[in-house]
Structure 1
Amino acid sequence: METKLPKISEKEKEIMSIFWHTGKSMTSSAIAESGNGLSINTVQAAMRNLLKKGYIKVDDIVYSGTVLTRSYIPIISAEQYAAYQLQTMRANTLNFSTLNFIDHIVKNDDTTILDELEDIIKRKKELEDD
């Protein structure tokens, strides 16, 4: 990832997780009502910060009950965020091994992640051959 992502707080990460989990446009009130124990004030403050930091954008103006409100969608995917976190960890941690990291992930997982990794490697090699 070429660009540096601004740091986000734990509450902001929690809200991004809700976006990534639902995969749809959401209003602040819908996020607050998602059952994660976040108050509407906390959600609205975090959403303003995420908007400024470029993690989300306004998707639409929708009705929430009888009131018009903005709905938001993430600009940064969960995968992009995780990749950036891994790159940051590699750059800032002495002796960090990506291979050991992947090995740790697959130890407690089924073989689907290995199959996905094989597919990615295969596609990359095919692109290099072209």
Structure 2
Amino acid sequence: MNKNLPHLTAKEEEIMTCLWSLEKAFVKEIAAHLDQNLHYNTVSTIVRNLEEKGFVEHQAFGKTHQYYPKISKEVYSEQVLNLNSQRFFNGSYKDMVSFFAKKEQISKEDLEDILKLINK
């Protein structure tokens, strides 16, 4: 990943996805929003780890904290796509898109839409 952004675990990504969706949330709200029932303390620990990694910031309300993303979903997504493009496709987005086309995970219509975006 980028030198500035450390790798996230699957659970950290799941919590970031919640925060990107909720925009601001207390730990109990994040825990309620997750697909799996994680204990409050587990969610709290993961959120604090995300804060240490620079992905999350908080606003204090007495002894409780409301957390919000410091890194946007778009910035993180770009980092992950760049990393995976390098790891699996030698940095070639053409090869990456071709891979999905061959696996029939991207339609002809999707490819035409991409071409329209490129030609703008």
With normalisation by structure 1, the TM-score equals 0.68
- Counterpart selection for 1:75 from 56, 64, 70: 70
CA separation of 1:28 and 1:113: change in aligned 2, threshold 3 A: farther
Identity of aligned residues (%): 29
What are the within-5 Å matches in structure 2 for residues 46-125 of structure 1? 46-58=46-58, 60-62=59-61, 69-93=64-88, 95=90, 97-103=92-98, 104=100, 108=105, 111=109, 115=113, 118-119=116-117, 121=118
The count of corresponding residues between Structure 1 and Structure 2 is 116
Shift of 1:69: 1.7
Specify the SS of the correspondent of 1:33. Answer: helix
User: Could you tell me how far apart the structure 2 residues matched to 1:14 and 1:108 are?
Assistant: 23
What per-residue deviation string (whole Å, max 9, x for no partner) do you get for residues 66-120 of structure 1? x752111112222211211122223334645311323427x5457468546744x
**Unmatched runs of 5 consecutive residues or more in structure 1:** 124-130
Shift of 1:23: 3.9
User: Could you tell me how far apart the structure 2 residues matched to 1:98 and 1:85 are?
Assistant: 13
**Unmatched runs of 5 consecutive residues or more in structure 2:** none
What per-residue deviation string (whole Å, max 9, x for no partner) do you get for residues 40-68 of structure 1? 1111111111001111111x345xxxx75
Q: Does 1:8 align with 2:3?
A: no
User: Could you tell me how far apart the structure 2 residues matched to 1:24 and 1:72 are?
Assistant: 8
CA separation of 1:35 and 1:75: change in aligned 2, threshold 3 A: closer
With normalisation by structure 2, the TM-score equals 0.72
Q: Structure 2: which amino acid aligns with 1:27?
A: F
User: Could you tell me how far apart the structure 1 residues matched to 2:41 and 2:88 are?
Assistant: 36
**RMSD, aligned α-carbons:** 3.1
Report the counterpart of residue 29 of structure 2 in structure 1: 30
CA separation of 1:71 and 1:113: change in aligned 2, threshold 3 A: farther
User: Could you tell me how far apart the structure 2 residues matched to 1:84 and 1:35 are?
Assistant: 24
User: Could you tell me how far apart the structure 1 residues matched to 2:86 and 2:29 are?
Assistant: 37
